Amino acid sequence: MKTKKTILIAALIFGGFTTTKAQTTDALMTKTQIINASADEVWGRLRKLDKVEELTPDFIGDSWVTGPIGVGAKRNCTAPGQTRKNTENPAFTETILIYDDEKRFYSYSVSGVPAKNMVNSFKVVDLGYKKCMVVWSSGGWTFVENPQMNEEQFVGFLDTVSNQMMARLFELHNAKS
């Protein structure tokens, strides 16, 4: 008992305990990726909201942000092979709902996909020693019946896109190490 009390006191003196909520409780899909780069460096890429096509080149042709970076900004994305120059309508739009530089977190709703109430989020967790963990989650949504795909195909698509996104984040940051 004395040892536990000593550890608790030492932990409180030398930094305390912190908890990090890395995902929402209603997440239907969560992906994590450990990256050998500082949390600030990785957050620096994600916080800009632009060039998401670098993370998902097989699924997004072009992306651009309208409005100031932060809550209310819109990230517009085209289908592969299209750019904003050759299409008037983005394939889908993401609207920033929560944006917190200090916590390295943002969430966004997605429109233009066969799901309603879809909210995704990114969180960058500092692991120390120039390592971080990126957590991406998607939740709250219900599938909308449509002729292009069924729910199983949509979930598979979402899984494939999120896997590519996390793998590309890893590649982009670990290439520097």
Q: Which pLDDT band holds residue 176 (cuts at 50, 70, 90)?
A: low
Please answer whether residues 63 and 48 qualify as being in contact, where contact means their C-beta atoms are separated by less than 8 angstroms.
no
Q: Which domains does the chain have, with CATH numbers?
A: 19-174 (3.30.530.20)
Q: Render pLDDT for 146-160 as a digit per residue (tens, 0 to 9).
A: 999 999 999 999 999
Q: Render pLDDT for 56-103 as a digit per residue (tens, 0 to 9).
A: 999 999 999 999 999 999 999 999 999 998 887 899 999 999 999 999
Does the pLDDT at position 20 exceed 60? Answer: no
Q: Give the per-residue pLDDT at 175.
A: 75
